[in-house]
């Protein structure tokens, strides 16, 4: 069974989690310093999340991403829960990325605490 | 059925900036002052002397660490240099211009740490145990290698997604057995492991399930200073004698779960991903070697008098030089495009990395062969550098997968790959 019921549910939970991350100065500061825009093209349910120095936005828009990641909603969930690692997800084609993945790795130090917090955040939303 | 090629221009096209120019100048200076002279000296030494702690090999590796060259793949946020795809291309072309062997030694050094950085979210303790100490290392007390080939497995272990990879009769000689969450390793890696006799850690490929053939494997970041690890005799080779290579033996060596990048679930795909990166880089090493042979020949042709005039004034020599130049330029464009595309697209188009490696190593061999022809009898003499460059380049058609095997894999990829042509 899919983790997220539908697109609205995904935006509310996973999208909310990204907004929570962005509200952290260390994370938004790192995004601004890297001048990095990431577009997540999510399937099952279909959704688009933009993570950029300007904030977190949902849905298609005419902007250019530095890195685009195509993945399922369940893979998103598994990644944050540390059930699947980035290299394994990339190798197994669970994440298809376009753009400089090294730029994304720049964010890893600042998102480190988020991995610990993710299960709590999702538990609050019944996941 | 519509046929189409992959347009490599879809990769991020990186503008050439002043930073790239500065990088080229600084690496070129280091290569001229340190790498090339050391490489010439090491070429004349015995393999045992090359790995001695006071040898030019160690002096070079230490200086690379002092300059931070071991961190070119590590993001700045972790203290690394973190070059972009174009920067990496420039870096390795210049390094290989000085020495293909030492450029390879520098390239494989970072393998274990790069993968440690990739799995940090799962195993954050790797930041303090591997990543930060490696980045800070200035005296080369941490040195990496890529340990994949085995005495009975060379190119076959590098080429996944083919029938042989799933044949249960063909399996790893380094075998892991589960012990709780850990793995216990027994067996050996081939004499062809670059930095194999000198490295303190390895990105190590090992067997996990014989019934799956070579696809039944795992990848670990292994500590080579663990009890039970021993080394073979440094290999005596025709070329790239400045690159220490030798067997690594494992006798009941424990690898804990926080050092395991993947098991058989993702092993085949991960091998493909690593090959895609390795071949894209190997192509650049070949390009650097070819340019070294070309420039050496160009200089010689201006100095050497034959038939009453400088060699370069002979029309046939001019034709040969032009032919070499054309091949090198084509190799640079292909290897840059493949590098830009495959470094920024996951999963990479490994068929293109193999294409680049095969093309550039064949190109380098052709260039080196023509260079020796222009040198004439002097080209056969150890007195002239071109003789060494020819031997160094010869190895590239075999290392990182023999060109014959890789070409078969390209054919398989064209016909039956993920995106058939």
Q: What percent of chain A has pLDDT over 70?
A: 100
Picking from A90, A100, A102, the nearest residue to B347 by CB comes out as A90
Query: Does B327 lie in the same domain as B242?
Result: no
Per residue in B320-346, pLDDT (tens digit) is 999 999 999 999 999 999 999 998 888
According to the model, what pLDDT value does residue B71 have? 96
- CA-CA distance, B1 to B263, in Å (whole number)? 37
Query: Does B411 lie in the same domain as B375?
Result: yes
The answer to whether the beta carbons of residues B118 and A87 sit under 8 Å apart is yes
Residue B421 lies in a domain: no
- Minimal CA separation from B135 to chain A, in Å: 15
Picking from B78, B82, B115, the nearest residue to A87 by CB comes out as B115
Query: Does B164 lie in the same domain as B132?
Result: no
Picking from A93, A106, A115, the nearest residue to B347 by CB comes out as A93
For B224-336, list the strands marked E by DSSP.
229-231, 248-255, 260-262, 305-306, 309-310
Contacts of B270 in chain A (CB under 8 A): 87-88, 91
Contacts of A30 in chain B (CB under 8 A): 77
The answer to whether the beta carbons of residues B204 and B220 sit under 8 Å apart is yes
Give chain B's contact residues with A (Cβ, < 8 Å): 12, 73, 75-78, 82, 84-85, 115, 117-122, 124, 261-262, 265-266, 269-270, 272-273, 343-347
| Averaged pLDDT, A77-105 | 85
Residue B258 lies in a domain: yes
pLDDT beyond 90 at B419: no
According to the model, what pLDDT value does residue B351 have? 94
Please indicate whether, in this complex, the C-beta atoms of B266 and A95 are within 8 angstroms of each other: no
Per residue in B90-127, pLDDT (tens digit) is 999 999 999 999 999 999 999 999 999 888 878 888 99
pLDDT, greater one: B287 or B78: B287
Query: Does B232 lie in the same domain as B242?
Result: yes
pLDDT beyond 80 at A97: yes
Please indicate whether, in this complex, the C-beta atoms of A96 and B265 are within 8 angstroms of each other: no
DSSP secondary structure of B190-204 = -TT-BTTTT-SEEEE
Domain's final residue, options B267, B294, B326: B267
Complex prediction ipTM = 0.77
Helix ranges, B305-380 (H): 315-343, 350-375
Residue A116, both tokens: 């610990």
Instruction: Using pLDDT thresholds of 50, 70 and 90, give the confidence band for residue B3.
Output: low
Coil, strand, or helix at residue B205? strand
The answer to whether the beta carbons of residues B156 and A117 sit under 8 Å apart is no
Please indicate whether, in this complex, the C-beta atoms of B266 and A97 are within 8 angstroms of each other: no
DSSP secondary structure of B125-161 = THIIIIIHHHHH--SSSS-EEEE--BTTBSGGGG--S
Q: What percent of chain B has pLDDT over 90?
A: 89
Residue B1 lies in a domain: no
Beta strands B217-223 and B201-207 are antiparallel
Residue B314, both tokens: 């002979």
Query: Does B362 lie in the same domain as B306?
Result: yes
- Triad B328, B373, B318: Cα angle to 5°: 60
pLDDT beyond 70 at B1: no
Query: Does B282 lie in the same domain as B302?
Result: yes
Pick from B277, B266, B231: nearest CA to B88: B277
B218: left (phi over 0), alpha (psi -120 to 50) or beta: beta
User: In this predicted structure, which of A107-111, B24-28, B166-170, B196-200 has the lowest mean pLDDT?
Assistant: A107-111
Instruction: Using pLDDT thresholds of 50, 70 and 90, give the confidence band for residue A92.
Output: confident
Contacts of A109 in chain B (CB under 8 A): 77-78
- Minimal CA separation from A44 to chain B, in Å: 21
Please indicate whether, in this complex, the C-beta atoms of A112 and B347 are within 8 angstroms of each other: no
Q: Which residues make Cβ contacts (< 8 Å) with residue B385, sequence separation at least 6?
A: B40, B296
Give chain A's contact residues with B (Cβ, < 8 Å): 30, 79, 82, 85-88, 90-93, 95-102, 105-109, 111-112, 115
Instruction: Using pLDDT thresholds of 50, 70 and 90, give the confidence band for residue B244.
Output: very high
Residue B3 lies in a domain: no
Query: Does B232 lie in the same domain as B127?
Result: no
Please indicate whether, in this complex, the C-beta atoms of B118 and A105 are within 8 angstroms of each other: yes
Side-chain-side CA neighbours of residue A9 (13 Å): 13
Contacts of A105 in chain B (CB under 8 A): 75, 77, 117-118
Query: Does B351 lie in the same domain as B287?
Result: yes
Contacts of B73 in chain A (CB under 8 A): 102
Tell me the CATH number at B30: 1.10.540.10
Residues B384-391: contacts with CB under 8 Å, at least 24 apart: B384/B300, B385/B40, B385/B296, B386/B293, B386/B296, B386/B297, B386/B300, B388/B39, B388/B40, B388/B43, B388/B239, B389/B289, B389/B292, B389/B293, B389/B296, B390/B239, B390/B293, B391/B238, B391/B239, B391/B240
Q: Which helix (H) or strand (E) holds A94?
A: none
| Averaged pLDDT, B40-46 | 98
Domain's final residue, options B213, B232, B267: B267
Among the four given CATH numbers 3.30.1050.10, 3.40.605.10, 3.30.428.10, 2.40.50.100, the one describing domain A7-122 = 3.30.1050.10
- Triad A14, A18, A21: Cα angle to 5°: 140
Under 8 Å CB pairs connecting chains A and B tally to 83
Query: Does B283 lie in the same domain as B394?
Result: yes
Query: Does B237 lie in the same domain as B117?
Result: no
- CA-CA distance, B55 to B41, in Å (whole number)? 9
Residue B353 lies in a domain: yes
Query: Does B169 lie in the same domain as B41?
Result: no
B305 exposure class (CB count in 10 Å sphere: 0-12, 13-18, 19+)? exposed
pLDDT beyond 60 at B370: yes
Query: Does B409 lie in the same domain as B343?
Result: yes
User: In this predicted structure, which of A60-69, A92-101, B306-315 has the lowest mean pLDDT?
Assistant: A92-101
According to the model, what pLDDT value does residue B8 have? 86
Per residue in A36-61, pLDDT (tens digit) is 899 999 999 999 999 999 999 999 99
Tally of structural domains, chain B: 3
Domain's final residue, options B250, B267, B284: B267
Q: Which residues make Cβ contacts (< 8 Å) with residue B46, sequence separation at least 6?
A: B236
Contacts of B8 in chain A (CB under 8 A): none
Q: How many CB atoms lie within 10 A of CB B39?
A: 28
Enclosing domain of residue B153: 144-267
Q: Which residues make Cβ contacts (< 8 Å) with residue B193, sequence separation at least 6?
A: B145, B146, B147, B148, B149, B199, B202, B245, B246, B247, B248
Contacts of A102 in chain B (CB under 8 A): 73, 75, 82, 84
Contacts of A79 in chain B (CB under 8 A): 121
Reported pTM: 0.92
According to the model, what pLDDT value does residue A111 have? 78
Residue B2 lies in a domain: no
Please indicate whether, in this complex, the C-beta atoms of B266 and A92 are within 8 angstroms of each other: yes
- CA-CA distance, B126 to B259, in Å (whole number)? 8
């Amino acid at each position: 069974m899919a983790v997220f019921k539908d697109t609205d549910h995904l935006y509310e939970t996973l999208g909310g989690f990204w907004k929570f991350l962005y509200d952290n100065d260390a994370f938004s500061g790192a995004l601004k310093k890297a001048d990095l825009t990431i577009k997540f093209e999510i399937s099952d349910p279909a959704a688009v999340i933009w993570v950029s120095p300007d904030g977190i936005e949902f849905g298609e828009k005419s902007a250019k991403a530095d890195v685009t990641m195509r993945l399922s909603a369940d893979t998103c969930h598994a990644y944050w829960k540390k059930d699947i690692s980035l290299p394994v997800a990339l190798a197994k084609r669970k994440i298809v990325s376009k753009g400089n993945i090294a730029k994304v790795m720049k964010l890893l130090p600042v998102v480190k605490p988020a991995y610990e917090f993710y299960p709590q955040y999702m538990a609050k939303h019944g996941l | 059925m519509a046929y189409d090629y992959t347009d490599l221009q879809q990769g991020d096209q990186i503008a050439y900036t002043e930073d790239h120019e500065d990088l080229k100048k600084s690496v070129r200076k280091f290569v001229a002052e340190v790498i090339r002279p050391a490489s010439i000296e090491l070429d004349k030494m015995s393999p045992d002397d090359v790995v001695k702690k006071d040898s030019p090999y160690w002096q070079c590796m230490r200086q690379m660490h002092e300059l931070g060259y071991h961190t070119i793949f590590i993001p700045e946020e972790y203290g690394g240099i973190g070059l972009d795809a174009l920067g990496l291309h420039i870096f390795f072309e210049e390094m290989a211009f000085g020495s293909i062997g030492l450029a390879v030694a520098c390239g494989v050094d970072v393998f274990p740490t790069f993968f440690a950085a990739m799995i940090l979210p799962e195993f954050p303790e790797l930041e303090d145990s591997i990543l930060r100490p490696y980045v800070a290392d200035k005296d080369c007390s941490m040195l990496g290698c890529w340990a994949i080939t085995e005495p009975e497995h060379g190119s076959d272990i590098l080429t996944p997604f083919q029938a042989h990879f799933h044949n249960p009769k063909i399996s790893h000689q380094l075998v892991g057995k589960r012990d709780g969450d850990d793995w216990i390793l027994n067996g050996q890696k081939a004499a062809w492991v670059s930095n194999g006799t000198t490295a303190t850690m390895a990105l190590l490929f090992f067997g996990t399930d014989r019934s799956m053939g070579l696809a039944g494997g795992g990848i670990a970041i292994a500590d080579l200073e663990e009890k039970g690890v021993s080394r073979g005799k440094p290999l005596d080779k025709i070329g790239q004698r400045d690159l220490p290579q030798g067997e690594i033996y494992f006798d009941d060596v424990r690898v804990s779960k926080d050092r395991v990048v993947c098991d058989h679930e993702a092993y085949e795909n991960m091998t493909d991903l690593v090959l895609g990166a390795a071949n894209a880089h190997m192509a650049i090493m070949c390009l650097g070697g070819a340019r070294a042979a070309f420039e050496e020949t160009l200089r010689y042709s201006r100095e050497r008098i034959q038939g009453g005039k400088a060699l370069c004034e002979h029309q046939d020599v001019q034709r040969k030089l032009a032919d070499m130049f054309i091949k090198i330029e084509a190799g640079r464009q292909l290897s840059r495009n493949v590098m830009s595309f495959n470094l920024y697209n996951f999963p990479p188009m490994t068929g293109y990395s193999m294409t680049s490696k095969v093309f550039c190593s064949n190109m380098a061999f052709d260039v080196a062969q023509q260079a020796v022809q222009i040198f004439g009898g002097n080209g056969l003499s150890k007195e002239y550098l071109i003789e060494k460059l020819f031997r160094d380049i010869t190895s590239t058609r075999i290392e990182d997968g023999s060109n014959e095997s890789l070409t078969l894999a390209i054919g398989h990829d064209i016909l039956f790959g993920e995106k058939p042509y």
